[in-house]
């Protein structure tokens, strides 16, 4: 990925394969699905009783006698996509980086971050820079 990031508006549209989503809806779906899966119960092999949830399973890690309580779990995923931004002239190809931050103590504060990295970053015309300089001088 290049180092140019395009901020996404909630009403921008993302094309993933054959499916399209508004940015706001995609964030909502990702958060809902992650939360649902982390709340699933893990069954022990020797019991039919449900054990702890996936979130609880990852919440406390034991390293010998030391216990590490995780307050935050992060997932990152990058996928090829196209984006249609408000006011743009068409679809732009690039990569969508999805970062999910799960807070084990308060799952209602989970965060979903979406970043778009275009294949080709469109630089502003130098004429626009010249106009901005003229305006700033006056």
Q: Using alpha carbons, select from 78, 70, 96 the residue that is nearest to residue 12.
A: 96
pLDDT digits (tens, 9 = 90+) for 65-97: 887 777 777 889 999 999 999 888 899 999 999
Q: Using alpha carbons, select from 86, 99, 102 the residue that is nearest to residue 8.
A: 86
Domain membership of residue 111 (yes or no) is yes
Domain membership of residue 2 (yes or no) is no
Handedness of CA 111, 112, 118, 124 (dihedral sign): negative
pLDDT digits (tens, 9 = 90+) for 31-43: 888 878 877 777 7
- Name the domain count of the chain: 1
Q: Which structural domain range is residue 20 located in?
A: 8-135
Asked whether the beta carbons of 126 and 98 are under 8 A apart, the reply is no
pLDDT digits (tens, 9 = 90+) for 3-53: 688 889 899 999 999 999 999 999 999 988 887 887 777 777 777 677 777
Domain membership of residue 24 (yes or no) is yes
Find residue 127's DSSP bridge partners: none
Asked whether the beta carbons of 117 and 5 are under 8 A apart, the reply is yes
Domain membership of residue 31 (yes or no) is yes
């Amino acid at each position: 990925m290049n180092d140019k990031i395009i901020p996404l508006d909630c009403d921008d549209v993302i094309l993933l394969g054959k499916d399209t989503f508004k940015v706001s809806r995609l964030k909502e779906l990702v958060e809902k699905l992650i939360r649902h899966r982390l709340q699933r119960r893990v069954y022990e092999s020797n019991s039919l009783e449900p054990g702890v949830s996936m979130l609880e399973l990852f919440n406390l890690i034991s390293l010998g006698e030391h216990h590490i309580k995780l307050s935050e779990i992060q997932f990152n995923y990058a996928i090829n996509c196209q984006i249609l931004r408000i006011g743009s002239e068409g679809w732009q190809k690039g990569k969508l980086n999805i970062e999910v931050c799960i807070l084990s103590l308060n799952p209602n504060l989970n965060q979903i971050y979406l970043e778009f990295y275009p294949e080709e970053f469109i630089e502003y015309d130098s004429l626009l820079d010249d106009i901005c300089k003229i305006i700033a001088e006056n």
